[in-house]
Copies of this chain bind each other. A is one copy, B any other.
Amino acid sequence: MEKKIITISREFGSGGRTIGHLVAEKLGIPFYDKELVDHIALESGFAPRFVEENGEHAPGSSFFAYAFAQQSVPGIMNGLSTADFLWNIQCQVILQLADKGPCVIVGRNADYILKDRKDCLHTFIHADMDFRADRIVRLYGESEKSPLARLQEKDKRRRVNYHHYTGRDWGDAQNYDICLNSSTLGVDACADIILKIVENT
């Protein structure tokens, strides 16, 4: 197994998390998604909920975020914005986890952070809007906003965050070893394709 670290970038609602979980389970290797949030929270001093909501989103200048950060980690941020401080911690944590051994890492621009390692398989999971809309209502419940509006807002925030910190375009095939449409191929089939690639390297 030459490709030891699998990064899963994913559109919200595409099933990327489920695919990553299936792959990690079959390979018997750690799966970092919520666990990644906990690591970053521990290193940064932010609450897990705050990390989860801000780690992949647009670098904002929200007064509340800044005030919250100042209270949480006084004197540690060295004049960085909350978003930049969080980004630095995120990079450190992801690089350290990759050094520890084979794993699956979901989201958080890990494809870019680990781009110089040769033992990574960088994947991107996307899906048609209808499939994603149906999935987020089933998995995350109804909301005041329409499913489409929720998807568009999430896409926009991830796109802006990704471009800001990597200089790349979100969803550009060139950034990944493999991109899969989970709505046309199926969630299980996507996991199988990734597993076969990893097993054959």
Contact = CB atoms under 8 A, between A and B. Distances in A.
Interface residues of A, number: 19
Chain B CB within 10 Å, residue with most, of A124, A171, A174: A174
A93 interface: no
A184 B177 contact: yes
A189 B200 contact: yes
A181 B173 CA distance: 8
Interface in A119-154: 124, 126
A172 interface: yes
Given A171-B173, A177-B181, A178-B179, 9 more contacts: A124-B173, A173-B176, A176-B179, A177-B180, A177-B185, A178-B180, A178-B185, A178-B193, A193-B196
22 contacts: A124-B173, A124-B179, A126-B173, A126-B174, A171-B172, A171-B173, A172-B173, A173-B179, A173-B181, A174-B181, A177-B180, A177-B181, A177-B184, A177-B185, A178-B178, A178-B179, A178-B185, A178-B193, A179-B179, A189-B197, A193-B193, A193-B197
